Amino acid sequence: MDEERNLVAIILIMWYLLPAYLANTVAALVGGGAPIDGGRNWSDGKRILGDGKTWKGLIGGTIGGVITGMIVLKIGNPISGVENDILNLEGNDYVHVSVVLSFGALFGDMLASFVKRRMGFERGSMALGLDQYDFVVISLIMTWLVYGQWIEELFSTHIWRELMTIFILTPLLHRGVNIIGYKIGVKNEPW
């Protein structure tokens, strides 16, 4: 009984965070070309963001995440028999939440690159912790700032269980997708 509830919670949280995960994946798939920082350096003489953060990745990834979000949020709770009305958004809110989840993910990824550059990490280097969690943490925080009630509802049953799910599954998914991306040649490093 309890195990079943845990599984439901794990599926739900991953389901609703799909737009954030997909935004990141699509950015890597379609990225390249003109960098967002325009090739400019920060006052420390290092790139502001680096060549790994491009307009194509940002825009394409956001669009990919928004499309994912519109499907996921329109379908709503995928597990029948679970009462969770508040998670079903009204009107166009499902589009807005999709935008914030997706853009938030890519914004978090940009923030991480900014921090990595300030710490002297080259583009593409691995920054343990930062690379794995940047997008999902900032995506959640930004969505919480705009749609606090929805995020609070998502985490309402057992906040530690939801957080642990994200903490454990995010790096595994991140790594798994990156290895695939590396093997099929759309990513330069397998991390």
Beta pairing partners, 60:
none
Asked if 49 and 114 count as a contact pair (C-beta separation under 8 A), the reply is yes
Among 53, 94, 140, 174, binds ligand CTP (CB under 6 A): 53
Q: Quick one: tokens of 176?
A: 């798994």
Among 101, 109, 132, 154, binds ligand CTP (CB under 6 A): 109
Closer residue to ligand CTP in complex, CB, 15/114:
114
Asked if 139 is part of the footprint of ligand CTP (rule: CB under 6 A), the reply reads no
d(CA 100, CA 105): 8
CA angle 65, 67, 71 (to 5 degrees): 115
Query: By CB under 6 A, how many residues form the interface with ligand CTP?
Result: 19
Per-residue string for binding with ligand CTP, 158-187, x by CB under 6 A?
-----------------------------x
Asked if 31 is part of the footprint of ligand CTP (rule: CB under 6 A), the reply reads yes
Burial class (CB in 10 A: 0-12, 13-18, 19+), 134: buried
Asked if 69 is part of the footprint of ligand CTP (rule: CB under 6 A), the reply reads no
Q: How far is the CB of 91 from ligand CTP (least distance, A)?
A: 30
Q: How far is the CB of 20 from ligand CTP (least distance, A)?
A: 13
Asked if 108 is part of the footprint of ligand CTP (rule: CB under 6 A), the reply reads no
Asked if 104 is part of the footprint of ligand CTP (rule: CB under 6 A), the reply reads no
Kindly list the distances between the CA atom of residue 158 and the CA atoms of 1, 138, 162, 167, in Å, as whole numbers in the listed order. Answer: 15, 21, 6, 14
With b for 16 or more beta-carbon neighbours within 10 A and e for fewer, the 76-104 pattern comes to: ebeeeeeeeeebebeeeebebbbbbbbbb
Among 9, 20, 58, 137, binds ligand CTP (CB under 6 A): 58
Among 28, 100, 101, 140, binds ligand CTP (CB under 6 A): 28
Q: How far is the CB of 63 from ligand CTP (least distance, A)?
A: 12
What torsion, rounded to 10 degrees, do the Cα atoms 155, 160, 165, 170 define?
Answer: 90
Residues that bind ligand CTP (CB under 6 A): 27-28, 31-32, 50, 52-54, 56-58, 106, 109, 113, 116, 123-125, 187
